[in-house]
């Protein structure tokens, strides 16, 4: 192995400071706690054995955090034009957001079903 090559594999971690490393699991635990507190009383799936609840909380929290990151990912008009069309489900609020970003109509492609979206 070439000297220094191993360190380059992890170079993407270098810009992250310790505050971020500590905040990420803290926010994950906080999200799990909030989801459990809100769902435990009204949702039967959040009752039962502790192991089942923990797995369900981890799954719910991961889904929430990933969807939040996807929604908050900045999308510029230039990046959309460089990639081509942007698909959206008919009736979704996404199209309003894209229009507010001044995405031109020729780049917007509506889909009525998820199956049609997957076909393209």
Does 60 lie in the same domain as 9?
yes
* Contact indicator for 43, 10 with CB cutoff of 8 Å: no
Domain boundary among 57, 72, 87: 72
Does 14 lie in the same domain as 45?
yes
Does 83 lie in the same domain as 66?
no
pLDDT given for residue 88 in this prediction: 82
Torsion from C-alpha of 83, 79, 64, 23, nearest 10 degrees: 140
| Cβ count near 62 (within 10 Å) | 13
Does 90 lie in the same domain as 58?
no
pLDDT given for residue 1 in this prediction: 46
Does 58 lie in the same domain as 43?
yes
Does 9 lie in the same domain as 39?
yes
Query: Which pTM was predicted?
Result: 0.42
Does 81 lie in the same domain as 64?
no
Does 87 lie in the same domain as 65?
no
Does 60 lie in the same domain as 18?
yes
| Cβ count near 60 (within 10 Å) | 19
Cα(25)–Cα(29) distance, integer angstroms: 6
| Cβ count near 98 (within 10 Å) | 20
Does 84 lie in the same domain as 50?
no
Cα(16)–Cα(23) distance, integer angstroms: 11
Does 83 lie in the same domain as 50?
no
Q: Look at the chain and report how many structural domains it folds into.
A: 2
Cα(85)–Cα(96) distance, integer angstroms: 15
Residues of the chain with pLDDT below 50 are 1
Does 91 lie in the same domain as 64?
no
Residue range of the domain that includes 15? 5-72
């Amino acid at each position: 192995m070439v000297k220094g090559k191993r360190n380059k594999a992890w170079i993407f971690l270098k810009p992250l400071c310790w505050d971020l490393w500590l905040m990420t699991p803290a926010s994950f635990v906080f999200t799990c706690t909030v989801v459990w507190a809100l769902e435990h009383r009204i949702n039967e799936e959040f009752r039962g054995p502790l192991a089942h609840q923990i797995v369900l909380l981890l799954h719910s929290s991961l889904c929430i955090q990933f969807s939040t990151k996807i929604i908050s990912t900045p999308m510029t008009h230039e990046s959309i034009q460089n990639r081509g069309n942007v698909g959206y489900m008919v009736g979704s609020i996404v199209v309003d957001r894209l229009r507010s970003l001044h995405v031109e109509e020729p780049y917007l492609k509506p889909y009525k079903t998820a199956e049609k979206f997957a076909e393209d």
